[in-house]
């Protein structure tokens, strides 16, 4: 599933490609979207802005209309110049949004809906989101408070709770806990507030490092690999995620892996660096 940094980069790319431009054509395989387009055509509307909120991507149109998409496991947005060949097959297309200069195509996106700004504000998916670590308005203390209130949850599951802190996915969950030397299986109630403060700070640091830009300007898509170690070697870019059975980069202990939580998400950790006893 794309994590908050992936959605942020996608929104930034779409913002550069589409903001201020006029829609010339809209197409979708979703009847609920085409019905809105039939009643209140998108053609002729201006794309005002594109933004990310946690794992949600929002496209704002003139006339008080907003398109919300969520990628789930396999969705993605691509941009193309008119006439350029798509890199994915047409049967994966879910939404096409065309302007004279650029075309945006959503592939395999399972969640998409239109709404007004007021409807968007009332929608539980956005209304209940926790603080977004990639937002300019991020308040770390609020995220810490929300996580701390989930006393009976294991900390790994609390970090994935989008109503506590938005944008952290399964990769960052494992990486943040390793960097913070916290066992994924400790209950939130077993942690000191200083521990939660540290985890939130690490999460924000990791997410922001993976949306930074080496160069300004231009319309580019992200070509790098997510990194948490700070190392340039592509084979050494993550601390624990995806490294089950391989030696810990700190102590050499084999990295462990288990399915955890109500959705059986993979968790990676080092037993020596992240002991369960406090």
Catalytic residues: 2-3, 55
Task: Give the number of other Cβ atoms within 10 Å of residue 224's Cβ.
Answer: 10
Question: For residue 200, how many other CB atoms are within 10 A of its CB?
Answer: 26
Decide: residue 90, CB within 10 A, 0-12 exposed, 13-18 middle, 19+ buried: exposed
Cα–Cα distance measured from residue 125 to residue 115, given in angstroms and rounded to the nearest whole number? 13
Q: Between vectors from CA 272 to CA 271 and to CA 275, what angle results, nearest 5°? A: 65
The DSSP code for 80 is: E
Distance CA 159, CA 1 (A): 15
Q: How far apart are CA 179 and CA 198, in angstroms?
A: 9
Dmax (CA) of the chain: 62
Task: Give the pair of three-digit tokens for residue 248.
Answer: 């810990």
Read off the tokens for 33.
Answer: 């979207």
Q: What are the Cα distances from residue 43, in Å, to 11, 17, 38, 46?
A: 21, 17, 10, 9
The encoded tokens of residue 162 equal 């989008």
CA proximity to 244, closest of 261, 262, 267: 267
């Amino acid at each position: 599933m794309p994590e908050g940094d992936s959605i942020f980069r996608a929104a930034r790319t779409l913002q550069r490609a589409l903001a201020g431009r006029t829609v010339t054509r809209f197409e979708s395989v979703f009847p609920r979207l085409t019905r809105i387009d039939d009643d209140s055509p998108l053609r002729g509307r201006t794309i005002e802005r594109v933004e990310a909120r946690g794992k949600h991507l929002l496209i704002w149109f003139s006339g008080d209309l907003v398109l919300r998409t969520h990628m789930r496991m396999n969705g993605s947005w691509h941009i193309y110049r008119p006439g350029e060949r798509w890199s994915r097959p047409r049967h994966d297309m879910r939404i096409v949004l065309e302007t004279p200069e650029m075309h945006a195509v959503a592939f395999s996106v399972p969640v998409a809906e239109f709404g007004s700004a007021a409807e968007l504000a009332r929608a539980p998916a956005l209304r209940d989101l926790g603080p977004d670590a990639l937002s300019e308005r991020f308040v770390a203390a609020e995220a810490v408070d929300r996580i701390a209130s989930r006393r009976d949850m294991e900390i790994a599951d609390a970090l994935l709770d989008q109503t506590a802190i938005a944008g952290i996915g399964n990769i960052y969950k494992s990486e943040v806990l390793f960097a913070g030397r916290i066992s994924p299986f400790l209950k939130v109630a077993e942690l000191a507030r200083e521990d939660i403060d540290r985890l939130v700070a690490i999460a924000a640091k990791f997410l922001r490092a993976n949306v930074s830009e080496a160069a300004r300007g231009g319309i580019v898509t992200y070509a790098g690999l997510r990194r948490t170690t700070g190392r340039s070697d592509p084979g050494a870019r993550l601390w624990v995620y995806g490294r089950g059975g391989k030696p810990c980069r700190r102590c050499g202990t084999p990295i462990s892996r288990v399915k955890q939580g109500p959705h059986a998400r993979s968790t990676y950790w080092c037993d020596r660096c992240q002991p369960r006893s406090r």
